[in-house]
């Protein structure tokens, strides 16, 4: 505890004399030097084995993240597909109502107002349908991109696992000889 306070006081005095930027740079340089020295003490085989283990853990995480993305896109596609179907049904119903009211609207102001509302509703749902179709196409494109990336990553993972297995067999063979 005593040395901690002395060190803190020393850093404060040093910071006051040379400025906080230089103290930060000195600390970063010292840290890099210590890390380099520690890295040099670690056996290269141990370091390589640790890196391989880290990569073996990373592939499943990345694959799971991409699969989750695909599921999310699929849910969004389902929602947009439903929205497109609803918009199409409303548009069809409105078209039928327009046909039935056109003749009546010529003689009845109330029918004319109703016809105008139905036409506005139909136009709004046509616009919704168009937007939903565009979103559907964008989602399909995104799904193709993500599934291609997923397939590539899965193949890369399989290739990596195969290389690791080959290396492990070679290491075992070398250790026996």
pLDDT at 9 over 80: no
Using pLDDT thresholds of 50, 70 and 90, give the confidence band for residue 24. Answer: confident
Does the pLDDT at position 8 exceed 90? Answer: no
Determine the pLDDT at residue 173: 78
Average pLDDT over residues 21-50: 70
Q: Which residue has the higher pLDDT, 21 or 110?
A: 110
CA-angle at 135, arms to 132 and 138, nearest 5°: 155
Q: How confident is the model at residue 29 (pLDDT cuts 50, 70, 90)?
A: confident
Report if pTM > 0.75: no
DSSP 43: -
Calpha distance 21→40 (Å, rounded):
29
How many Cα atoms occupy the beta-carbon half-sphere of 113 within 13 Å? Answer: 3
Helices (H), 19-108: 20-41, 44-105
Residue 63 to residue 152: CA distance in whole angstroms: 10
Q: What is the pLDDT of residue 54?
A: 84
pLDDT of residue 110: 95
- The rounded Cα 76 to chain-centroid distance in angstroms is 15
pLDDT in tens, 112-122: 999 999 999 99
Q: DSSP letters along 92-145, please?
A: HHHHHHHHHHHHHHTT-HHHHHHHHHHHHHHHHHHHHHHHHHHHHHHHHHHHHH
pLDDT of 42 > 60? The answer is no
């Amino acid at each position: 505890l005593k040395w901690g306070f002395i060190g803190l006081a020393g850093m404060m005095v040093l910071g006051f004399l040379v400025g906080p930027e230089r103290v930060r740079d000195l600390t970063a340089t010292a840290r890099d030097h210590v890390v380099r020295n520690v890295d040099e003490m670690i056996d290269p085989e141990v370091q390589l084995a640790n890196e391989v283990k880290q990569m073996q853990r990373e592939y499943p995480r990345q694959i799971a993240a991409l699969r989750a993305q695909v599921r999310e896109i699929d849910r969004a596609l389902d929602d947009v597909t439903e929205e497109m179907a609803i918009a199409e049904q409303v548009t069809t119903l409105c078209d039928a109502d327009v046909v039935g009211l056109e003749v009546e609207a010529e003689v009845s102001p109330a029918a004319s107002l109703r016809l105008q509302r139905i036409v506005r509703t139909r136009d709004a749902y046509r616009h919704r349908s168009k937007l939903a179709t565009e979103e559907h196409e964008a989602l399909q494109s995104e799904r193709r991109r993500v599934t291609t990336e997923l397939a590539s990553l899965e193949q890369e993972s399989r290739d990596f696992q195969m290389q690791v297995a080959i290396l492990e067999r070679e290491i075992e063979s070398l250790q026996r000889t």
